[in-house]
Copies of this chain bind each other. A is one copy, B any other.
Amino acid sequence: MSEILATQIKWHEGHVTRTERSQLLRQQGCTLWFTGLSGSGKSTLAVALEQVLIRNGHAAYVLDGDNIRFGLNSAPKTLLESRGYSEASAKRFGLGFSAEDREENIRRIGEVAKLFADAGLIAITSFISPYRKDRDAARRIHEQNKSGPIPFVEIYVNTPIEVCEQRDPKGLYKQARDAVAQGKGMGFTGVDDPYEPPLNPELTIDCSSRSTQELVLEIVRYLEHRQLLAAP
């Protein structure tokens, strides 16, 4: 028989506290918010950090384009074709890349990261998130969390655009430069849409000069220093 079934089940009014969750997972729930240009190395770093944390016993989870833009924040087309939405609903709720769609995209991600962190996990987000106002709103969601403020760590991946553009793994910069040359805008961050660097990020990192291992180590050191990797 399992431990739960062997015990008398007793239950008290009220929610589980954040402290109880932290003690169970032996860490502080928090959000690590990576921001930077396309090709800056955000995702490589986020995935490497997640792996190191998990293999050392810490519950962490990466939210990125793969699991958000094809799920929670699907494009209108996906809602229409795969979710059976009406055209009006798909157009209304689906997200593209206009300024207001990006704002809503980042708002939803901020809300979900907050829920993960509230559950005790280390939420790692990896999105360009180019607008300062939207990132600040995500931070505020964490600060104003109902059951108490949640640590929000903004990590600015400050790789020079020349390096990002040289890597260009998906050929997006080239596509954007071509579009601009032909007089058509693409709204691509760093080319024809602004990237607003963080003013006071908790960490600034340049992926062009150091190895992933070194950078992950630096972030882990910071988390240790903030006492986020231990029970309260």
Chain A residues with a Cβ under 8 A of chain B = 2-5, 7, 9-12, 14-16, 20-21, 24-25, 47-48, 50-57, 59, 61-63, 66-67, 70-72, 83-86, 88-89, 92-93, 100, 103-104, 107-108, 111-112, 114-116, 118-121, 133, 137, 141, 146, 212-213, 216-217, 220-221, 224, 229
Chain B residues near A70 (CB-CB < 8 A)? 146
- Contact between A83 and B9, CB atoms less than 8 A apart: no
Residue of B nearest to A24 (CB): B54
- Contact between B146 and A56, CB atoms less than 8 A apart: no
- Contact between B118 and A51, CB atoms less than 8 A apart: no
Chain B residues near A2 (CB-CB < 8 A)? 220, 224, 229
Chain B residues near A83 (CB-CB < 8 A)? 107, 137
Chain A contact residues: helix, strand, loop or mixed: helix
Q: How far is B11's CA from A121's CA once the two chains are assembled, in angstroms?
A: 21
Q: How far is B86's CA from A133's CA once the two chains are assembled, in angstroms?
A: 14
Q: How far is B70's CA from A100's CA once the two chains are assembled, in angstroms?
A: 20
Q: How far is B47's CA from A70's CA once the two chains are assembled, in angstroms?
A: 30
- Contact between A119 and B121, CB atoms less than 8 A apart: yes
How many Å from the CB of A79 to the closest CB on chain B?
A: 8
Q: A5-B217, A24-B59 are in contact. Are A71 and B111 (CB under 8 A)?
A: yes
- Contact between B115 and A54, CB atoms less than 8 A apart: no
Q: How far is B3's CA from A145's CA once the two chains are assembled, in angstroms?
A: 31
Q: A61-B115, A116-B116, A224-B2 are in contact. Are A10 and B141 (CB under 8 A)?
A: no
- Contact between B212 and A4, CB atoms less than 8 A apart: no
Q: A89-B103, A224-B5 are in contact. Are A72 and B115 (CB under 8 A)?
A: yes
